Structure 1
């Protein structure tokens, strides 16, 4: 595959884009596993703050490699702020869900993001979505319903039903973030966009620390996700120091790899490769916690996976570019 430049100025190199997305998804699976491992002893905002402080150092090194401080200048600060805040919300809600839900189940629900993108493409991109793709979206959401199991009573389910809203919100905000990434990636380097995100993570988590860093709001709470979010800060000990350092390095790798992947290739080319995150989540859940999806959850995972892949394959079959000209590229 060769590198080309579109009329809008975006560089296209699908082979390299696929390489970046595979590298980024493996890094994400390791990140999610580490977050869940540490969720029992540290608050989420402390972990996000720590990894962002470390991650921004590596991101600034990448800035120097890609052109120096000048590439941090942008003519669209508002859009960059919106993109970064969408990713902040996506991370906080997804990680909060990990404290209560199995890794594979949380990841599977999150993978409704491409289906949400299909729906968002109608009002935001003016795209016509046919009955087959709408049907795939319905099947995917049916898979989520099966995993959530709203028909089960409170005594028979391990967590409250509203905890399942966390990965759904994460999927929605992540999808919006990816829509913005493709638009902003025409004029902004991947390393610069990573720095913007890291700065927002640091600011938001410092606000959390100022309000709830002593853990007073976690007193008397039984919900594991809320405890994870509001627990008091703890100084890391032993191996946890190295795990937190690993999170910081991983955050820089993830931000750069995903931004670079979607700058270099259309979403329809590389987004299906993100689905390797599902078997990786199942693997880590089995390897670390001995978790294995129940038959009902596995049915839901298959429906979400199948419907998401169908959407992309259908677009390929119809031979349509996700957008052209000045329109925003559809993203996952």
Structure 2
């Protein structure tokens, strides 16, 4: 299956949902623990995912060929989300999002050895420019920053694990439906968030901790107040759209075709950061956004110029 229009449409929908999800996570991060948000959004998202599963063919679709790889995929996306969300509690929305957008660069590079896709030297050069943008934002030459560097590294870790997850999606999507893959991910989130609740749900591990990301991860569960309940429901709806759209996008088209369109989330993050939190990116962040976003656009335009799929289709199929 290589339907570029379908893949691009789903990835654009998924990026819109992700940008809203991240904004809501940051908005709620001062009063609620991360694992509570993950648990609630996954419960709601799982309900929607089962609805999508029914529309695609029913419960029989949950019987997959390689369940261990589906569990590995779920674990990777949990690490990716937890790392990014923990960073959102501290970093400005646009900065965390821009660092996370090393993910499509990782995807483009890793698709070569893992999926056998062909990526030319011009596209590889664009990837190098994108990683230079990440380096500008991390500023290793600067002695002290406003936030610990480990916090800045969290979105990059999220980017790497997310890229590995999407490459697994491309492999598993040959035989598994998008709804079934989304259910496996939501189920993994529920197990991990439930485990956090059993171990740290009373907030005892957050006592005396000064790091805001750790406090966000470990504080006690509390019942949502007032309009916050609707924000939690919105998180669940976003989770369902994200889980289905991303799985459908990477099932429908080649990785290097879909990945550059993820960059639409960069201007959306700037917009939400400005409208909701009054944040405006600094000079190094703008430079990083320009390099990372420009690299992604170049990859897409180069592919369109060549007018051929990036992947060697027959060779890829033999590797599934």
When normalised by structure 2's length, the TM-score is 0.93
2:289 aligns with 301
Structure 1 stretch displaced more, 15-24 or 199-208: 15-24
1:80 match: 70
Aligned partner (choices 163, 166, 175) of residue 187 of structure 1: 175
Q: For residues 285 and 128 of structure 1, what CA distance do their matches in structure 2 show? A: 37
Which stretches of structure 1, 4 residues or more, deviate above 6 A after TM superposition? Answer: none
Shift of 1:326: 5.5
Conserved? CA contact 2:84–2:96, under 8 Å:
yes
Task: Describe the superposition over 1:112-151 as per-residue Cα deviations: whole angstroms up to 9, x where unpaired.
Answer: 1122123323432355655433332322122112112223
Distance 1:277 1:168 in 2: 16
Q: 1:91 aligns with which of 73, 78, 81?
A: 81
In terms of mean alpha carbon deviation, does 261-270 or 75-84 score higher? 261-270
> In structure 2, what is the equivalent of residue 216 of structure 1?
204
Instruction: Give the equivalent residue in structure 1 for 2:40.
Output: 50
Deviation at 1:14, TM superposition (A): 2.7
Structure 2 Cα separation of the partners of residues 310 and 328 of structure 1: 27
Residues 133/270 of structure 1: CA separation in 2 closer, same or farther (3 Å cut): closer
Asked whether the equivalents of residues 107 and 259 of structure 2 are also in contact (C-alpha less than 8 Å), the reply is no
- Counterpart CA distance in 2 for 1:128 and 1:263 is 18
Distance 2:153 2:316 in 1: 31
C-alpha separation in 2, matches of 1:145 and 1:136? 14
- Looking at structure 1, the residues matched to 261 and 131 of structure 2 have their Cα atoms a distance apart, in angstroms, of 20
Once residues 258 and 63 of structure 1 are traced to their aligned partners in structure 2, the CA distance between those partners, rounded to angstroms, is 15
**Residues 109 and 144, structure 1, Cα contact 8 Å, conserved in 2:** yes
Output the CA distance in 1 between the equivalents of 2:126 and 2:65. 38
1:101: which partner in 2?
91
Q: State the partner residue of 2:6.
A: 16
Count of matched residue positions in the alignment of Structure 1 and Structure 2: 317
CA pair 320-13 structure 1, distance change in 2 beyond 3 A: closer
TM-score (norm 1): 0.90
Q: Note the residue ranges of structure 1 that are not aligned, 5 or more in a row.
A: 1-9
Q: Which runs of 5+ in 2 are unaligned?
A: none
Question: Is this contact kept in 2: 1:17–1:260, CA < 8 A?
Answer: yes
State the distance in 2 between where 1:264 and 1:148 align. Answer: 34
